Structures are given as structure tokens and as C-alpha cells.
Amino acid sequence: MGAHWTSDETGWLTHSTVFMAAVDMGAFSETLVTFHPGVITMWLAALRTFFTEPHISVQGLALARWFIGIALLMGIGVASVLLYRLFGRWVAVIGAAFLSFSPLFLAQSRRVHTDALAAM
């Protein structure tokens, strides 16, 4: 959580605030706030608005990163279960270890961005 704040994260926090405001108002045609598929990132970052002010802040950034981390943790769990059912215990353990300790995946999972979620 202590990673630096990137310019992309400011954009995603802004997108998620606009997205959540449109959902709250029922203006679903206004939820298209970016030109590429980042809906899951916006959903997860928008969850922070239930716990803090929807403004861009360090606390909001930390919450958005936390929600993305939880989603990635659940994704690794689901991938492990699928690998276990398809290939057995050792393949599932090795696959989960590779996902959990991959340097690229670890680096991307510390930011509010679509990269880690897309890699999952």
C-alpha cells in the first residue's frame, strides 16, 4: 500500500467517482467514462466511496488498492481451485505460487489500474 501514487491512479479514482455518481443517480448511460474496458477497476475503486468521501485522497487511494488486492487474492484462489480440479494438487500449488510471487504481477497489483486485473 505504500507504493508511490501514479498519474494513472488519479484518473482511475476520478473515473470511479464519476461512475459511482452516475450509478447513484440511475443515469446508466453516463457510466461510460473511459474508452477501454475498465469496468471492474471502476467498480472496485468505487467501493471506496462507501467508506470515505468520494474525493481523491490518500485514504481513498489506499482503500481502492485494498479492494483491488482482495479481488486479486480471490482470483488467485479461484485459479488455484480450477487448477486443482483439472491437474491436481501440485500443479495448483505451483500455479498459485507463480501467480503470488511473480514480480510483474506483484508490481502491477499495487496500483489502481486494469493491468493486474487483466492479467488475472
Burial class (CB in 10 A: 0-12, 13-18, 19+), 39: middle
Q: What is the pLDDT of residues 66-83, one digit of tens each?
A: 999 999 999 999 999 999
In whole angstroms, what is the distance from residue 26 CA to residue 30 CA?
A: 9
The reported pLDDT for the residue numbered 3 is 58
Query: Which residue type is seen at 50?
Result: F
> What is the reported pTM?
0.85
- The predicted pLDDT at position 52 comes to 85
pLDDT at 9 over 80: yes
* Average pLDDT of the chain, as a whole number: 88
Model pLDDT, residue 1: 52
Average pLDDT over residues 42-69: 88
Task: Give the pLDDT of residue 27.
Answer: 92
Q: What is the pLDDT of residues 90-99, one digit of tens each?
A: 999 999 999 8
| Model confidence at 62: pLDDT above 60 | yes
